[in-house]
A and B are shown apart, each in its own frame.
Chain A
């Protein structure tokens, strides 16, 4: 079949639109985590934060029916829980990987306990109001670009705006310069009068906010309900995207798109029937992430020099 037919075939268009849509949560989480890692903190706990954000958005949506309020609740939840994490990373100076890992277990416990209390053991999954795909008259009906670029939810558009905002703040403001210095050479930042601790707190909290939003995205713009297994590795994949995106917001967006494409591909292959077992297809996104961060494509040398190194003043 010729290229034009391929590019406008239903399969391709659906796939591309789905790629963008599925990239949303991991991109959101990766954006904030980029700030955290640029300031010198590796926050493994974003996996748990996404779960808690998802729950918060679900509960708020269940009660109020307002998607925007739910989004805000998720963001707030992410910030509050990451305050604890930031305290342990920056003030207590405990091992970052350990704290993040243990926090994820805590989050699973909290989410399960609160969800079951809120809804009772007996009732099944409840669906809630979602972000509706936008319809831009004229533009949404274009053959290829229409559904892909102009038929997405406002949450996805917000995410894309955040990419640009993140890039600007990180590379074109004195705050961004100070934050990056805290992650490259904290002594130099300190000598320049910058509070390394404060930069790292802010970095982690930004990460928490977007991770919470990522959880809201899963519930409000992807699945439409909450279940305890709604988060299965998206946080870790976001960490991989930060690496693959070389700690730069717009490169992370590209990396997230690649991931989204793999996810969309395996989903449509599953639906399309065929002989490949669904579980093995489902492992594709994880395998791709592993390859991306294996170092096969370089990358270790570019990470913030003081990443994971706690800083203490005498």
Chain B
């Protein structure tokens, strides 16, 4: 008599899916707390520090919003490209390229703030779009694997920016970073008493734009069909190659905007390591949101908050902030793995 029997088709009611996701998150947290014991810390205390700080106070929430903006933009870029069948992973590269383009514009031109921002948005989007577009071209023309090529391009972009901040764009002094950007280029703060800046507004706008694009526009329809079945797309008269390049432009541009937001809103200068791995964390946020644009903001707020809380956790419980990488990736891995549990049911009779 078997206790566990295989379902005829996986349970896919909203309740089943939610239960699976919550269960996965819990398992991830349990596994991570095992690592806490390595540091002789109390898991409950540590989790409290991790989640309390970013959400309990205005100041903390402000920091959370700062982290949320770039994550959202990269997650949106992931959604547009992946759902169109373009497996782009080069967001780290687009981020730093966008940050570099923005910094260059800020340091080398003098516009009033209301003229500067639109230009910066345009320039950085174009730079990111071109960066990602190169990969799309290689795939369309030569059939190269965009997954690996975009990963390689990340390193090239990072090295280019390293070179820029050690050489042509370096501020006087020995540190590999640029001078502070002019005050007129900084994004305004939007929540008094916090460091939350207008970048989150850009992220919200981008969310709306991406949702409208994918759900309501004809181009979006063609992108999604191309992603689900290129042969059916061609049958339907869709120019799959052109759509791929379009998706790449959007992905690259959104990734570059994430860099813009970080430079103009938080760092106010370009330096090596400015990304902090957000090019990959943003992809993870998109996965957690199951590639649905409307679910990105909540997922990004959660993960952005975790990054903020990690610093608090380090201060209060002595656990290194690198443990958030573990928690953030484990949650998604467990969610993916939870699929397998939806394929079975427990028989109690």
Q: Which residues of A contact B (CB under 8 A)?
A: 44, 87-88, 91-92, 94-95, 97-99, 101-106, 108-110, 112-114, 116-117, 121, 232-233, 236-237, 239-240, 243, 277, 279-280, 282-283, 286-287, 289-290, 293-296, 300
Contacts and interface: CB of A to CB of B under 8 A. Distances in A.
Given A112-B320, A294-B142, A99 B333 contact: yes
A296 B137 CA distance: 12
Interface stretch (B105-113, B201-209, B275-283): B275-283
Contact of A109 (B138, B142, B149, B326): B326
Nearest to B341: A92
Interface residues of B, number: 48
B247 interface: no
A92 B340 contact: yes
Interface string B129-146: 000000000110111110
B175 interface: no
A294 B138 contact: yes
Interface string B329-342: 11011001101100
Given A91-B340, A92-B339, A116-B320, A293 B329 contact: no
14 contacts: A87-B337, A92-B339, A101-B283, A105-B281, A108-B277, A113-B323, A233-B152, A240-B148, A243-B148, A286-B152, A289-B152, A295-B144, A296-B144, A300-B143
A113 B149 CA distance: 29
Given A232-B155, A290-B153, 19 more contacts: A88-B337, A97-B147, A99-B333, A102-B336, A109-B329, A116-B322, A237-B152, A277-B166, A280-B160, A282-B159, A283-B159, A287-B156, A290-B149, A290-B152, A293-B148, A294-B138, A295-B138, A296-B144, A300-B143
A112 B159 CA distance: 22
Do most interface residues of chain B lie in helix, strand or loop, or is the interface mixed?
A: helix
Contacts of A94: 336-337, 339
Contacts of B153: 286, 290
A228 to B, nearest CB: 9
A54 to B, nearest CB: 16
A79 B69 CA distance: 38
Given A109-B322, A113-B323, A117-B38, A280 B281 contact: no
B155 A286 contact: yes
Interface in B155-189: 155-156, 159-160, 162-163, 166-167
A152 B325 CA distance: 38
Contacts of A117: 38-39, 320
B142 A295 contact: yes
A106 B148 contact: no
Interface in B73-95: 87, 89
A294 B149 contact: yes
B340 to A, nearest CB: 5
B284 interface: yes
Contacts of A239: 148
Contacts of A97: 87, 89, 147
Nearest to B331: A102
Contacts of A293: 144-145, 148-149
Nearest to B161: A279
A240 to B, nearest CB: 6
